[in-house]
Chain A
Amino acid sequence: MLYPSVGDEVKMKRTNTVIKIESRVAEGGQGVVFRGVDSGGHDLAVKWYRKNKYLERQYNQIENLTNYSRPHPSFAWPIDIVNHPTIVGFGYTMEWVEARFVSLVEVLKKKVQPNFRTLITIGIELNEAFSALHSRGLCYRDINFGNLLVDPYRGDVSIVDNDNIGSESSRQGIKGTLRFMAPELILGNSSPSIVTDLYSLAVFLFYLFMHGHPLEGQKVNASYTWDKGQEQSETVKVTHFFGREPLFVYDPSDASNRPEYDSPVLRWWDIYPEFFKGVFVKAFTTGLKEPSLMKRVTETQWRGALHQLNDQLFSCGCGAAVFKDFDIPDKRCWNCSMTPSSVPILEAPSGACVLSPGFKLTRHHLFKDFDYKDSIGSVEPHPNIPGELIFRNTSNISWIIEPVGEGVKEVKPGQRMQVRPMKMHFDKIGTTISNP
């Protein structure tokens, strides 16, 4: 027998906890994944390795990972090695991923897309997970779409197949999935590291927001031919276009690899504000050819950019979700081609924010302390006046406001105010709302 069967019991190595195999869930390149239940009735995932020549290395790798606590809630982290009474080999247990999580790529392929707040939340969660991993000196090494599940309604992320995670220095078999691999890895000039992970993260985020690969444009497409005498092997092509001479589809100084006419990237790219596109330009120009923590875009930069993007989201009069672009004041809507009418802007210390339904004012907006969780206020549609907004004080201190042409007023914790031009005071921090 190569694998446990349904009904078998496997035992955790450290705690001797018995897990009963309930069903076979999936089969992959490395082995088979089962759903198991412990004596307390909790679901667990059990991955059993296929017999192969790397088995000993895989064992050490997993054993090592079980010594670490989970870096971020998004990781379905290995809990313990499991053994079977008669079957040679081993498996490991990890947390069971709930059914609300589906493959991200599956979501991106769907006609109806999650709203931008959800897409941004997915980006933020993914970025935070990698940040937590890298802060511990660990790297993921093999990021690809098979590893990444999301809740398309809430934006939660679940990262599975963590068996390739390790410290930068440890030796490891898998180099990565080619289309997510940094050029220096493809060329064999480097081994997987935090720096190469940062490249893969940028590719992921590009897919998330732009719906395509950052290097697959007209130039690469032109090389895909089955004509006699002109074909090259995929390996040659990959080494060339993803390794030796990679060229970003929106490289500012070389337009020869722009997205193909039928690529979804064309449409999505134009929607985003210039500052956000600029981060991708950095990631795929200097970050492409100069592999270092300084030249690649780090999680800190992505964090800032993603939160700022969230702050610039609003709805055009035609109903389309659009972003305020402070660099292009009269930017047109991607749907109706009109310049959206003006929107209320809160001049927070962290930067200008568009007040639109779903916007949450956090401590970071006021104090720039990277606390994005604590909510100070939230914007909702006005319950009685269509088109107007209200701002709810969700903090525990009163806001002092001076609406234009009105006297000084207080917005107590839990109270709501109608959004209109004014000066606002959050304790000692002063801001304004304008409607230019």
Chain B
Amino acid sequence: MNDLNSLMPGGGISRRSLHFFILADCSGSMKVDGRIQSLNYAIASIAPTLINWEREQEQAQIFVRAIAFADQAWWHIESPQPIDLLNWVPLTHVEKGLTSMGAAIRMVADAISPEKFEPRSLRPVILLITDGKPTDVEEFEIGLRELFSLPAGKAAIRLAVAIGQGANVSYLSRFINDPDIPVLVAENVDQIAVKLTAATLAISKMSSIGSDRKQVSEQIILPAVNSFIQADDDTIV
């Protein structure tokens, strides 16, 4: 076609940042059954879903940060990484490491304080993955208080994946602090990726502004939970 072959203005549309914080447990028990490897695999496998979602909508650009915790909490990815450039360096468990979940929550609270958090960004997503319960209970309480005192902390989409039976759901429910959103329980390591995918889909739905959290929860998170319950309900009476 002899078309007009002329210079065009450069593309791009204005988008808002969606900051996604992964809080990952690296305590000693994460070595059991290859949990930590499954966690690494699961994070790598949800990335394409998030990249696809980001590509197909106009509003959000996803940036990932990660905090690991064991005897203490530390930044695994400190500067926000665009999801499509995410290079996930595998986490390793800390031999006999504790579960400083409280310290991790305090770190994320600090990162989303008004002084540090990007003003035009969408509400952040905080995903907590653990196979246990906080060993720093006092810090955990302080962390939650700090988190919920912040506008961005209150508004955040908080999700939690519990790995195995050892995970204490009551702490995680307090972190989620929303009766409509259940803790996603990965019974075994195979389910970590499945649960993370459910969480990811929830993120993509909930972060579209004004979406009905309850409806999203019913359509996406609960079926995943129910399917687990059904699978578990084949006991012979």
Contacts and interface: CB of A to CB of B under 8 A. Distances in A.
A264 B12 contact: yes
Given A30-B219, A226-B150, A105 B4 contact: no
A271 B223 contact: no
B7 A113 contact: no
Contacts of A221: 120
Given A238-B210, A264-B12, A315 B112 contact: no
A27 B49 CA distance: 9
A146 interface: yes
Given A30-B219, A216-B14, A264-B12, A358 B4 contact: yes
B72 interface: no
Given A105-B57, A228-B151, A237-B209, A211 B4 contact: no
A262 B233 CA distance: 56
Nearest to B53: A146
B117 interface: yes
B151 A358 contact: no
Contacts of A318: 7
Contact of B13 (A117, A212, A230, A358): A212
Contacts, number: 168
B209 A231 contact: no
Contacts of B166: none
A319 to B, nearest CB: 5
A230 B119 CA distance: 11
A224 B14 contact: no
B9 A268 contact: yes
B7 A111 contact: no
Given A179-B59, A226-B150, A228-B114, A109 B13 contact: yes
B208 A178 contact: yes
Contact of A105 (B55, B121, B211, B220): B55
Contacts of A234: 122-123, 155, 209-210
B201 interface: yes
Q: How large is the interface on A (under 10, 10 to 19, 20 to 34, 35 or more residues)?
A: 35 or more
Interface in A17-46: 26-30
Interface in B173-226: 197, 201, 205, 208-211, 216, 218-220, 223, 226
A231 B1 contact: no
B4 A357 contact: yes
B56 interface: yes
A282 interface: no
B215 to A, nearest CB: 9
Nearest to A204: B58
Contacts of A12: none
A239 B14 contact: no
Given A212-B13, A216-B14, A263-B14, A315 B209 contact: no
B11 A113 contact: yes
A124 B56 CA distance: 21
B209 A115 contact: no
Nearest to A241: B209
B120 A177 contact: no
A51 B114 contact: no
Contact of A319 (B6, B55, B197): B6
Nearest to A107: B11
Nearest to B57: A145
A102 to B, nearest CB: 9
B3 A117 contact: yes
B3 A27 contact: no
Contact of A260 (B12, B14, B211): B14
Contacts of A216: 14
Interface in B77-118: 112, 114, 117
A358 B7 contact: no
B96 to A, nearest CB: 38
A321 B8 contact: yes
A213 B13 CA distance: 9
A213 B55 CA distance: 17
Nearest to B204: A29
B227 interface: yes
10 contacts: A109-B12, A111-B11, A113-B11, A115-B8, A179-B58, A226-B112, A227-B114, A234-B210, A262-B14, A318-B7
Interface of B: 1-14, 16, 49, 52, 55-59, 112, 114, 117, 119-123, 150-152, 155, 197, 201, 205, 208-211, 216, 218-220, 223, 226-227
What 4 A-B pairs are tightest by C-beta distance, nearest first? A321-B6, A231-B151, A358-B3, A380-B2
